[in-house]
Amino acid sequence: MPKYAQFFSTRWGIIGVGAFIGVFAQLLQKWGNPANMGICVACFERDMAGAMGLHRAAVVQYMRPEIIGFVIGSLIAAYAFKEFRSRAGSAPIVRFILGAFAMIGALVFLGCPWRAALRLAGGDWNAIFGLLGLIGGIWVGTLFLKGGYNLGRSQNTHASVGWLLPLTMLGFLILMLVFPQVQGQDKSGVLFYSLKGPGSMHAPLLVSLIMGLIIGFLAQRSRFCTMGAIRDIILFKQAHLLSGFIALVVAAFITNLILGQFNPGFAKQPVAHTMGLWNFGGMVLAGLAFCLAGGCPGRQLFLAGEGDGDSAVFVFGMIVGAGIAHNFGLASSPDGVGPYGIPAVIIGLLACLFIGFTMRKQVA
Amino acid sequence: MSTIVDAKGLSCPQPVLMTMNEIKKVKKGEIVILVDTDTSKENVSRAAMAQGWTVKGVEPEGTGYRISIAKD
């Protein structure tokens, strides 16, 4: 492999990719995405669930092109560097459940690890509780990993298996083009659109898509993973991935200062609530679920793009989980946690503990 | 005779975890690790080097790689 192709697996490679994501996430916010939500994998998949009517929370409905770009950008990188390898069969149902509960936890906090970092970089100090929760959840996950937890081996399979999520994402993009947003209307063809709230705020489709494709490409090359960043430090004292995550925060912070998007404080932060315990608790659940599933929500999209059918199942778990979270009143809002958010976090933690304790059989 | 760690089909961080466990067990000598993704190849090599082991060779094998690491 040529030397430039290996750059992304170096320390500077991962730092460069983290910094790129940090800068362009904030620019996406300037170009129209919601505040402190230039990119949020959980929020955007939740918006996609809304666009399809899997939930009917009117303020969070939009088929986010960034997510589509992440998967297809990763697919392009995987093919360009001969890394596309279709594989599946490592406990898919477990990955689906973990995806659903990861989403529920993330929506109690109101963000995935990426958004937790972006919220921190925007001065939303509530994110500190979320990040501490994330670390706590991942720490519990590493205890299971040390105890022999694993989801078993995947098998190589037909290329078409690995193509299904990228093709689904392509289908979503086609739906956006066939049924584009109509000014003042909350529905266009089969797709729902938000008239107000975060779902109504978005950068132009082409800009979002191109940024998604570039980030998908770079992240596939560099293996960028926010959960892995924390897990590897705890488990192996390895700071490789963490340097990328820190670069994201620093770059996003500097970009925010330049763009005048830094507003420090706890109260009245955009798309956030101030219930510290449940900002923490939601992310304990999300962090544990990500750790047991082997990747943060962004990484799951990039893995799915390079042919991992099990990661694709996790992605669908997250999208369905978003539907459940809003239909059942589990998701938080700026007013605080949803009516059933707290029991959902507890049930989610119990489900993760069940999975962690019972799936420790040594692999053959 | 080197020991073989078969991490094929296992997702992150299992290949590294299995390699580290083997390194702790044998302390020196040669270990062969079988992986099937480029990510695992990079991660295993990086982890081995961080433990003071040398990556002696990475050969394509089947749909994956055969990584040889050693420490005197």
Domains of chain B as residue ranges with CATH: 3-71 (3.30.110.40)
Give pLDDT tens digits for A56-113: 999 999 999 999 999 999 999 999 999 999 999 999 999 999 999 999 999 999 999 9
Average per-residue pLDDT for chain A: 97
Residue A127 has pLDDT above 60, yes or no: yes
**Which of chain B's residues have a Cβ under 8 Å away from the Cβ of A151?**
11
- Contact between residue A68 and residue A169 where contact means Cβ atoms under 8 Å apart: yes
Closest CA to B18 of B26, B6, B28: B6
Q: Please report whether residue A59 resides in a domain.
A: yes
Compute the distance between CA of residue A73 and CA of residue A348 in angstroms, rounded to an integer. 32
Closest Cα in chain B to A146:
B17
| A202 has a chain B CB within 8 A of its CB | no
Percentage with pLDDT > 90 across chain B? 92
Residue A1 has pLDDT above 60, yes or no: no
Q: Please report whether residue A134 resides in a domain.
A: yes
Can you give the pLDDT at residue A13?
A: 96
Q: Please report whether residue A2 resides in a domain.
A: no
- CA A362 from centroid of its chain's CA atoms: 30
Q: How confident is the model at residue A6 (pLDDT cuts 50, 70, 90)?
A: confident
pTM more than 0.95: yes
Give pLDDT tens digits for A214-257: 999 999 999 999 999 999 999 999 999 999 999 999 999 999 99
Closest Cα in chain A to B38:
A83
Structure tokens at A93: 């149902």
Closest CA to B6 of A120, B15, A64: B15
- The DSSP bridge partners found for residue B61 are B64
Q: Which of A81, A90, A236 sits opposite B11 (nearest CB)?
A: A90
In chain A, the DSSP E strands lie at 87-88, 155-156, 187-188, 191-192
Closest Cα in chain A to B40:
A223
- A-B CB pairs within 8 A amount to 55
Q: Please report whether residue A81 resides in a domain.
A: yes
How open is the CA angle B47-B48-B52, to the nearest 5 degrees?
A: 115
A113 upstream amide cis, omega within 30 of 0: no
User: Does A90 sit within 8 Å of B17, measured CB to CB?
Assistant: no
Structure tokens at A150: 């694993």
How many structural domains comprise chain A? 1
